Amino acid sequence: MRSLGGFSLVELLVSVALLVILLGSATYVFMQSQEIHARTVSQMEVDRTARAILDNLDRDLTNVVKTHEMEFFTDAGPNPSGHYEDGEVKLAGQTLGPLGAAVYHHALTLKYGRYTDPEGVARRSDVLYFKTVQPVLRDVGGGDALVDSEVLVAWSLDTGNPEYPVLRRQSQWMERTSSGAASVSAVENEPVGEWVTAFEVQVLEPTPNVVSGDARGTSGPLVYRALALSEVATSPAFQACHPGAGSPPPTATGDLFRDRELLNCRTGDAAAKMLKGVNPGDPFYMFQAGADTGQQLTIKAIANRASAQLTFIEPITLSDPAGDPDNYRTRAGYLPPALRVVLHLRDERSTQDQTVTREFRLPSR
């Protein structure tokens, strides 16, 4: 009798082994492709988050205000001047500002910060504080409408939980009560980005070999360099509008002013400071220490940066009966030519940070 044909036990075992190998290889390839896909999607999400953060900051900085009295203040005294003088205070309720709520911030302020993450790595957590213009919902004629308003904005990295830091944008603006009294809004505190492990802000200035004279008085693209920490103020914050003791012309007629302490925001000798930050058209305020009067001026030209000599569009009308020119104090509106922001981001799938950098050239107005 003839036996039926079929597979032997050895052949079946070989076939099963080959099938297991093929299925295992296919499963491995599938799992790897899934992992690569997940990492790619996660990377795209990090990229999208970084772009959204920097685009939001760009909108704020596009309308940044150049001023020497950035915050909202109570214009006190018997003769309110409409400008901030020594001794006046912020409007009640203002809590923003890296130098503390009790300190009046004259101009854009940058505070360098650091924290240590759970892995023991020191990371940057800077604070960038400035005034900008943005639409605010206000009651206009009995109805609500968006009105362009001056808004104080603070960008900072919240490291209260070092394992999950959150980049935040805080904002506050001035309002008026039904009786017309000035007040400030509640602080809007909005998270603008997760996965941010470091927020670094650098002040940029044109390189000396590219730009000479006025920082913005050149055509064509500018080449910037970042100021080292040793080149900015040794205090916790870089605030390029510190008051200075002045020496106006003895005749008080004129349009020439000398102030070697103006914008005392960098280390080094007086010549290194030499009015680097200001340019023609910038606002300039002069007032007497302890007095409630002052004069708002506009820089017409810089006669000599090395000796800090300015000319103004308006004649100086202030007088000093005591004959002591050191009674005069000064402030000048200032913005750095550019800022560089460096973000470090890491999602839950990554073991290394992704670094995203963008430079923002600030308006000269």
- Residue by residue, DSSP assigns 259-315 as -TTTT--SSS-HHHHTTTT--TT-EEEEEETT-S-EEEEEEEEEEETTTTEEEESSP
User: 196 burial class (0-12, 13-18, 19+ CB within 10 angstroms)?
Assistant: buried
Q: Which of 312, 180, 158, 337 is nearest to 246 (CA)?
A: 312
22 is written with which tokens? 């093929």
Q: Measure the CA–CA gap between 74 and 288, rounded to whole angstroms.
A: 18
Please state the pTM of the whole predicted model.
Answer: 0.76
Q: Which segments of the chain have a pLDDT < 70?
A: 1-5, 34, 36-42, 77-79, 177-180, 206-277, 289-292, 304-309, 319-329, 349-350, 364-365
Q: Residue ranges per domain, the chain?
A: 11-200
Give yes or no for a contact between 259 and 330, defined as CB atoms under 8 angstroms apart. yes
Residue 334: C-alpha distances to residues 239, 256, 365 (Å): 9, 19, 10
Query: What pLDDT score does 190 carry?
Result: 93
Give yes or no for a contact between 258 and 306, defined as CB atoms under 8 angstroms apart. no
Q: Measure the CA–CA gap between 128 and 53, rounded to whole angstroms.
A: 14
Pair type for strands 237-239 and 224-226: unpaired
Query: What pLDDT score does 48 carry?
Result: 87
Q: Measure the CA–CA gap between 85 and 348, rounded to whole angstroms.
A: 50
Query: What pLDDT score does 223 carry?
Result: 60
Give yes or no for a contact between 330 and 246, defined as CB atoms under 8 angstroms apart. yes
Q: Measure the CA–CA gap between 247 and 218, rounded to whole angstroms.
A: 30
Mean pLDDT of the chain: 74
